Amino acid sequence: MKKQLLIFLTICCFPFMLNAQMPERTPENIAKYKELCRAHIYKDMKGMYREAGGALVFPFLAPGSNQYLDMLWDWDSWLSNIALRQILLENGTEKDKQEALKYEQGCILNSLHYGGMDGWIPIWIERNAPSREEMLKTRNPWKSNMHKPTLAQHAAFIVRNMNGDAEWLRDDFYTLQAFVCKYLNFHRHKATGLFYWETDEAIGVDNDPSTFYRPQGSSGSIFLNALMYRELQAMAYLAGCLNLDDIAVSFEKEAAVLKGKVQEHCWDPRDRFYYSVDLNLLPVEKPDIKGLYPGQLFLHVGQPRDYDCLIQRLSVWSGFMAMWAEIATPEQAKEIVRIHFHDTCSFNAPAGIRTLSPLEKMYNVRASGNPSSWQGPVWINVNYLVFRGLVKYGFTEEARELAEKTILLLGRDYERFGALHEYYLPDNGEPVLNKGFQNWNLLVLNMAAWLDGKPFVTEF
């Protein structure tokens, strides 16, 4: 309790102590660091390209840095691709754009190459990875996590940039359907209609306390459900591009149902925020009263529970994902921004969005690589996704604030170290881990283009 009070007082009452190392948010500094980011990122444009070989039978995009040097990752390749398209828009020739296409499509095709009729696709693939059959000898595909629901969104992003041409995907579209339908059929809570993580392994936001070290199959994650809503919409789009209209309609219906379920179960009218939910409740069972003796007590028969989940009131950044996915109503978005985005004692930090509020007992910004730390540090993909939600709902000043903070943070990193890092301390912007990390950090370009009123690339 004393530790939390000290953190609270330090952040809210003495912000100048923690903010001293962040560049001042002036037009001059923003212009300076914007150009510094562009110069470095343009130079490294093709650093994420990897050629086919071994288990990766198509060229692909790698996140970059020594730690992720030669591997295909699920949501990493998707967000990296969005940044790559911004680089190509600003600094690429037509030849560059055509060259990039095989690496973009290869991310999807490599993943689908590991797919099957059961729908399971691995989260990451290494060049020396074993075959799918070998992988499944050591895991139960029905009880383990798989590729996050961003595969259809990534494919739809590429197809949209090809003016709706999805023919390159037609032969593998069944495998993509099997992947999405595996989520629909085997990772969805029947009572609530929400999707859940099977385990806390490689969920992307590794030690998010709503999932980390919790019982298996119990986390109805708002992060997962927001991704899944957009994944279903992407499937509808792709099916339409392939003239599979009936299939498109079925995915549109699934998306509409999920949106309603998330609004029903994950919105907290008390805190005015979206939360993950706890699905780990004992079942309601009709008691066996054969041989009942007078005075014998059967628990719960008078009034069994009539709710199917419990809100996890943990102040995790992923509540903002309801705005990114456009699940939140305009009224809800207004309250989320008013109460949570503007709160400098919680999410709003000098370097961007804290991944966990420092008012939570789990708050911890120490360096950690397995799991990676999401208990407070600033991640650039989080800054970007929250920024996009703000833009979608018309919160221009707030979006500007977050974009400018991100530019100052990364521009200063380039200035001091000549490279970017994986994540940062929220209050002074000091890098924490993994120098040379590129990945979704390059989305700072998309934010800078929006600030300048120039064309900017967005996810599907």
* Closest by Cα among 364, 379, 362 to 443: 379
Q: What percentage of the chain has pLDDT greater than the value 90?
A: 86
Q: In this model, does residue 299 exceed pLDDT 70?
A: no
Region 270-294 average pLDDT = 84
Token pair listed for 200: 């806390």
Token pair listed for 92: 């690429």
Query: How confident is the model over 19-37, as pLDDT tens digits?
Result: 448 999 999 999 999 999 9
What is the structure's pLDDT at 370?
87
Instruction: Output the average pLDDT for the chain.
Output: 93
What is the structure's pLDDT at 66?
59
Query: How confident is the model over 369-397, as pLDDT tens digits?
Result: 889 999 999 999 999 999 999 999 999 99
Region 150-164 average pLDDT = 98
Q: How confident is the model at residue 293 (pLDDT cuts 50, 70, 90)?
A: low
Helices then strands (H, E): number in the chain?
15, 13
Q: In this model, does residue 60 exceed pLDDT 60?
A: yes
What is the structure's pLDDT at 165?
98
Q: In this model, does residue 442 exceed pLDDT 50?
A: yes
Token pair listed for 182: 């595996």
What is the structure's pLDDT at 151?
98
The residue with tokens 């059967």 is 298
Identify the burial level of 64 via C-beta atoms within 10 angstroms of its C-beta, where 0-12 means exposed, 13-18 middle and 19 or more buried: buried
Query: How confident is the model over 335-358, as pLDDT tens digits?
Result: 999 999 999 999 999 999 999 999
Do the beta carbons of residue 385 and residue 325 sit within 8 Å?
no
The whole-angstrom separation of Cα 77 and Cα 104 is 8
Query: How confident is the model over 215-262, as pLDDT tens digits?
Result: 999 999 999 999 999 999 999 999 999 999 999 999 999 999 999 999
The whole-angstrom separation of Cα 404 and Cα 191 is 43
Region 186-199 average pLDDT = 97
What is the structure's pLDDT at 14?
40
Token pair listed for 143: 């009880």
* Closest by Cα among 181, 76, 27 to 439: 76
Q: How confident is the model at residue 278 (pLDDT cuts 50, 70, 90)?
A: very high
Identify the structural domains of the chain with CATH numbers, from first to last: 49-186 (no CATH), 193-281+306-339 (1.50.10.10), 344-459 (no CATH)
pTM of the model: 0.93
**Ramachandran class of 53: left when φ > 0, alpha when ψ lies in -120 to 50, beta otherwise:** left
